[in-house]
């Protein structure tokens, strides 16, 4: 399992990055990304902290990327937030999509998909225009194991297949109990009606490999 959407104490997660990495390795996972909740108020601070771990990357037990999840930023400011995150050293950029579990501003999905992002997290009842844009721009749509966000997994999976969008499976973990193993991920995939679980794993592997080549 490769999980590219995890939170540490640098936003609203419960674990230090090293604790998060150790627990992921103990579950038998092979790669991950720490992507803390971020907006203009804390992008520099989050990346300043996470950047300190980059020089020790090879000493950890699994492959790790350091980035952000841009969260509840007004759609018209999305481009500026993404630009700032990349400038500050984010190796992967996730955007908090229009989950039905939170009052995310309408238009967030479409705005995010126009920018240089990697994953649109829990995109909720994503519309046709956004699905077309996700396919065109090769942005991954997330299938989530997190409570609340997972409620639209079936819809996202069905629409992604219809529009030719790429899917990725993540935990969006905030606490130790949210972390998932290969077996858990496979169950979430089946629950979403996805038959080709191996393709999900392949997508995660490809994105991780692509990003690590740039570091």
* pLDDT tens digits, 114-166: 999 999 999 999 999 999 999 999 999 999 999 999 999 999 999 999 999 99
Query: How is residue 33 written in tokens?
Result: 């990304």
User: What's residue 197's pLDDT?
Assistant: 95
Number of domains the chain contains: 1
Q: Which domain holds residue 35?
A: 2-213
Mean pLDDT of 83-92: 98
Q: For residue range 158-202, list pLDDT tens digits in order.
A: 999 999 999 999 999 999 999 999 999 999 999 999 989 999 999
Q: How confident is the model at residue 209 (pLDDT cuts 50, 70, 90)?
A: very high
User: What's residue 47's pLDDT?
Assistant: 98
Side-chain half-sphere CA neighbours of 169 within 13 A: 29
User: What's residue 4's pLDDT?
Assistant: 98
pTM: predicted TM-score of the whole model, two decimal places: 0.98
- From residue 132, give the alpha-carbon distance in Å to each of 33, 55, 57, 77, 183: 26, 38, 36, 22, 31
Question: Domain with 147 in it: what CATH number?
Answer: 3.20.20.140
Give the full edge-to-edge strand order of the sheet including 2-6: 2-6, 31-38, 63-70, 93-96, 119-121, 140-144, 167-170
- From residue 58, give the alpha-carbon distance in Å to each of 49, 53, 92, 215: 17, 10, 18, 12
Q: Which residue has 């992604």 as its token pair?
A: 160
Mark out the alpha helices in the chain (DSSP H runs).
Answer: 17-26, 43-51, 78-87, 108-113, 128-137, 153-163, 182-191, 197-213
User: What's residue 188's pLDDT?
Assistant: 98
């Amino acid at each position: 399992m490769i999980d590219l959407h995890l939170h540490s104490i640098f936003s609203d997660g419960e674990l230090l990055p090293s604790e998060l990495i150790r627990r992921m390795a103990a579950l038998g996972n092979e790669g991950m990304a720490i992507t803390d909740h971020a907006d203009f108020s804390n992008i520099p601070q989050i990346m300043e902290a996470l950047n300190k771990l980059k020089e020790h990357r090879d000493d950890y037990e699994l492959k790790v990327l350091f980035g952000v999840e841009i969260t509840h930023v007004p759609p018209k400011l999305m481009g500026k937030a993404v630009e700032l995150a990349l400038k500050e050293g984010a190796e992967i950029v996730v955007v908090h999509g229009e989950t039905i579990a939170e009052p995310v501003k309408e238009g967030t999905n479409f705005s995010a998909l126009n920018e240089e992002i990697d994953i649109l997290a829990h995109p909720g009842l994503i519309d046709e225009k956004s699905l077309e844009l996700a396919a065109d721009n090769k942005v991954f749509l997330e299938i989530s194991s997190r409570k609340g966000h997972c409620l639209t997994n079936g819809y996202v999976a069905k629409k992604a297949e219809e529009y030719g969008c790429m899917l990725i499976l993540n935990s969006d973990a905030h606490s130790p109990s949210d972390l998932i193993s290969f077996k858990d991920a496979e169950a979430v995939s089946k629950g979403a009606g996805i038959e080709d679980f191996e393709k999900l794993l392949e997508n995660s592997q490809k994105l991780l490999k692509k990003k690590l080549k740039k570091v």
